[in-house]
Chain A
Amino acid sequence: MSKILKSLLVGSALVAAPASQAIELEVTHWWTSGGEAAAVSKFADAWNATGNSWLDGAIAGSGGTARPIIISRILGGDPMAATQLNHGRQAEELIEAGLLLDLSDVAEAGGWADIVNPSALLESCTLDGKIYCVPVNIHSAQWLWLSHAAYENAGLDVPNDWNEFVGSAGALQAAGTLPLAMGQQGWQQNLAFGAITIAVAGTEAWREVTVNKNAEVAAGPEYTAVFEAMVDARKLASESNVQDWNQATNMVITGTAGGQLMGDWAQGEFAVAGQVEGVDYSCLPGLGLNDILDTGGDAFYFPVNDDPAITAAQKELAALLISPEVQVSFNLAKGSLPVRGDIDMSSANGCMQKGLKILANGGILPSGDQSLSADTQTQIEDLMAQFWSGDMSAADAQDDYAQLIKKAD
């Protein structure tokens, strides 16, 4: 039985499906906003088209809410057939405990090693030489979103990089506009920190600290400059009292704020508001200073299942998620970048084109999720929350940060 299934699978994962029995797979994810739901339905449609059926297990709330539910279902012996997680170190222990399905054979048959770009995405799915997840998209965090309305109102040109943005802040404030919109939540403040770090300290220092956990560099002059820039940014955002990121994005859309540091998912909000890139808003990847983006994103994991029929279907779904057609339709709807470089994304909008260009030029870094454990990330988020809302000095924040990096594992 398993031999037949395996040969079916390796032969052609997509075509084999209609011949076999229709199998229902429950897929959990936390894509519940308008644009996200539209994107996930592309997966569901593609899977249903193979003659199987997709049981949607959307979990409302952010990843922070959904992840514990997903993990406790896997640990508690009630696994779903497939689940979204951010690739990186979140699933490390689940893999070590043997709870996730080894997809190496599917990856080999599909030649993932050659098509996945950047290859770091596949590396973060790999543990001890085996592949455990399918990367489905790339989200990057280093974007500065600027409101044209706010700058017109202040009689200024839209800035081209972070330094010009900081320089323009006085005029914006004089015109009664908040320069920088910032949601008062740790992860957003941490995201802003990451973006400013890559722009100010440069990629070498960033890599040394985040990937190699070198506390000396974190305490060094490059990072002193970062924390001083953060103090500036904090002043620009001091009047911002919104909480959620999309409320902050909304301030940029309505022109009550000049800009926002947020990931590429923000463009979904601009699209929903009917705004046009280059006319109503601008985006600066890498804050306009460094053409660098990190490559976090989403991936699907497949918990181990006793039923060989379901296991076969899981592998089939894995192959489907990374297939060219599905990648194009999904990523266009999601506003994220595809994980393979060999497909046509010409219908993407201006901001996505900028991102694709950077990706093609190799201006990429691993995301924090891929380098730091959730524990360290949470501690850094706590520090950032404290820094942004209070009057902590740059030197104190840097000391604390260097301590966290020193203890990071």
Chain B
Amino acid sequence: MTVISDPLMHPTKRPRRLFKNLMAKLASIPMILTAVVVFVGGTAWTVLYSFTGSRMLPKTNWVGLDQYERLWSSDRWIISITNLGIYGSCSLVLTLVIGFSLAACLDRKIRFESAFRSIFLYPFALSFVVTGLAWQWILNPDFGLQSVVRGWGWESFVFNPLNDANTVIYGLLIAGLWQGTGLIMCIMLAGLRGIDEDIWKATRVDGIGTIKTYIVVIIPMMRPVFITSLVLIASGIIKLYDLVVAQTGGGPGLASEVPAKYVIEYMFRAQNLGQGFAASTMMLCSVVVIMIPWAYLEFGGRKRG
């Protein structure tokens, strides 16, 4: 900043600024190119071709908004969006609440803390495919949880979320939470450990209760940790795909379809690239709609502060 505002700076000095830290700039060229060509370029290309009638191969026969009209009149897409909404909001809230609660419990200097930490973090080491299959078996009424409880003598016990179109998304949610909360717990725990002991001493002196301290003092102090967790959880939600494929295959019927699966299936199985591109553009839009106000608040706000 100071260099630019320097009134004595001559225009001829400019090239020198370009060559400053030349090696560092050269070294970052591949990454810059990747970002521009692959991410931005690929995104622009996808958006552009979503206005074409491309089938198996990309073609430039423009069809205007036809692909979008078809997309929004398709039941399957509406179901997918609704499912993502339910899964996303539940997953976001529950992962944060459960993750923070577990971390707070571990932070109370309990015995065998590291053992518990490993147990809670362990599911995260499994891929979504393994998680999905394992939970498909656990929730299977014939040899999973339901049959075990019935075997204990509770004959009328019914727990069969995956075969009911109204509850299947919660079956997915259970598996998703089981897999994902451990990581969030660890991040939260790290955040809690970063809180100065003196804060606790001060609240104790003021006579504030433990739970109230967490909610009123500790959580606001952990804002960056929450932001990190939020980004991790949100990206996990948007790309929800492999869990669904492994656990339910989108069924029963179309009841557990998600947008990412729509994109993949229309691009490759239905050989309709245009439709797949339109759907992925809509996914991009939803991310942008959430990200821009957030980024504005987060980074725009900091300048003022």
Q: Is A94 an interface residue (CB 8 A)?
A: yes
A375 with B55: CB separation less than 8 A: yes
For residue A403, which residue of chain B has the nearest CB?
B73
Within the complex, which residue of B254, B255, B272 is in contact with A375, where a contact is CB–CB below 8 Å? B272
List residues 362-409 of chain A with CB under 8 A from any CB of chain B.
373-375, 377-379, 382, 385-390
Q: Is A97 an interface residue (CB 8 A)?
A: yes
Min Cβ gap A393→B in Å is: 14
| CB-defined A-B contacts under 8 Å, sample of 13 | A184-B251, A241-B252, A374-B271, A374-B272, A375-B55, A378-B265, A378-B266, A382-B74, A386-B76, A389-B252, A389-B253, A389-B255, A390-B165
CA–CA, A67 and B270, complex, Å: 11
For residue A244, which residue of chain B has the nearest CB?
B249
Q: Which residues of chain A have C-beta atoms less than 8 A from B249's C-beta?
A: 185, 243
B270 with A375: CB separation less than 8 A: yes
For residue A75, which residue of chain B has the nearest CB?
B57
Q: Which residues of chain A have C-beta atoms less than 8 A from B252's C-beta?
A: 184, 241, 389
List residues 196-232 of chain B with CB under 8 A from any CB of chain A.
none
Residues in chain B within 8 A of chain A (CB atoms): 55-57, 74-76, 141, 163, 165, 249-255, 265-266, 268-272, 275
Asked whether A90 and B253 contact (CB < 8 A) given A375-B55, A378-B265, A382-B76, the answer is no
Asked whether A67 and B76 contact (CB < 8 A) given A243-B249, A390-B253, the answer is no
Min Cβ gap A63→B in Å is: 9
Q: Which residues of chain A have C-beta atoms less than 8 A from B265's C-beta?
A: 378
Q: Which residues of chain A have C-beta atoms less than 8 A from B76's C-beta?
A: 382, 386
Within the complex, which residue of A243, A375, A390 is in contact with B275, where a contact is CB–CB below 8 Å? A375
Min Cβ gap B140→A in Å is: 9
Q: Is A68 an interface residue (CB 8 A)?
A: yes
Within the complex, which residue of B55, B75, B266 is in contact with A373, where a contact is CB–CB below 8 Å? B55
CA–CA, A75 and B55, complex, Å: 14
Q: Is A201 an interface residue (CB 8 A)?
A: no
B269 with A68: CB separation less than 8 A: yes
A93 with B56: CB separation less than 8 A: yes
Q: Is A64 an interface residue (CB 8 A)?
A: yes
With contacts A184-B252, A243-B251, A385-B250 known, what are 13 further pairs, Cβ within 8 A? A68-B268, A71-B268, A184-B253, A185-B251, A373-B55, A373-B271, A375-B266, A379-B74, A382-B76, A386-B75, A386-B253, A387-B253, A389-B251
CA–CA, A84 and B262, complex, Å: 25
Q: Which residues of chain A have C-beta atoms less than 8 A from B251's C-beta?
A: 184-185, 243, 385, 389
How many A residues are at the interface, by size bracket?
20 to 34
For residue B274, which residue of chain A has the nearest CB?
A375
CA–CA, A218 and B224, complex, Å: 59
Q: Which residues of chain A have C-beta atoms less than 8 A from B271's C-beta?
A: 90, 93, 373-375
CA–CA, A94 and B79, complex, Å: 33
4 cross-chain pairs, A with B, having the tightest CB-CB distances, nearest first: A389-B253, A378-B270, A68-B268, A93-B56
CA–CA, A184 and B255, complex, Å: 11
CA–CA, A92 and B56, complex, Å: 9
Min Cβ gap A73→B in Å is: 13
- Max chain A CB contacts within 10 Å: which of B55, B271, B275? B271
Asked whether A382 and B163 contact (CB < 8 A) given A185-B251, A374-B270, A389-B254, the answer is no
CA–CA, A382 and B253, complex, Å: 8
B270 with A386: CB separation less than 8 A: no
A374 with B269: CB separation less than 8 A: yes
Asked whether A241 and B254 contact (CB < 8 A) given A374-B271, A377-B270, the answer is no
For residue B56, which residue of chain A has the nearest CB?
A93
A388 with B268: CB separation less than 8 A: no
Within the complex, which residue of A67, A68, A92, A386 is in contact with B254, where a contact is CB–CB below 8 Å? A386
B269 with A67: CB separation less than 8 A: yes
Min Cβ gap A401→B in Å is: 13
Asked whether A388 and B253 contact (CB < 8 A) given A64-B269, A374-B271, the answer is yes
Q: Which residues of chain A have C-beta atoms less than 8 A from B272's C-beta?
A: 374-375, 378
Q: Which residues of chain B have C-beta atoms less than 8 A from A75's C-beta?
A: 57
Q: Which residues of chain B have C-beta atoms less than 8 A from A90's C-beta?
A: 271
Q: Which residues of chain A have C-beta atoms less than 8 A from B253's C-beta?
A: 184, 385-390
Q: Which residues of chain B have C-beta atoms less than 8 A from A375's C-beta?
A: 55, 266, 270-272, 275
Min Cβ gap A191→B in Å is: 15
Min Cβ gap A278→B in Å is: 31
B163 with A241: CB separation less than 8 A: yes
CA–CA, A13 and B56, complex, Å: 34
Asked whether A97 and B270 contact (CB < 8 A) given A185-B249, A389-B251, A390-B253, the answer is no
CA–CA, A382 and B163, complex, Å: 17
CA–CA, A386 and B257, complex, Å: 11
Q: Which residues of chain A have C-beta atoms less than 8 A from B250's C-beta?
A: 385
Min Cβ gap B51→A in Å is: 17
- Max chain B CB contacts within 10 Å: which of A68, A184, A374, A382? A382
B75 with A382: CB separation less than 8 A: yes
B254 with A97: CB separation less than 8 A: no
For residue A71, which residue of chain B has the nearest CB?
B56
Q: Which residues of chain A have C-beta atoms less than 8 A from B254's C-beta?
A: 382, 385-386, 389
B56 with A94: CB separation less than 8 A: yes
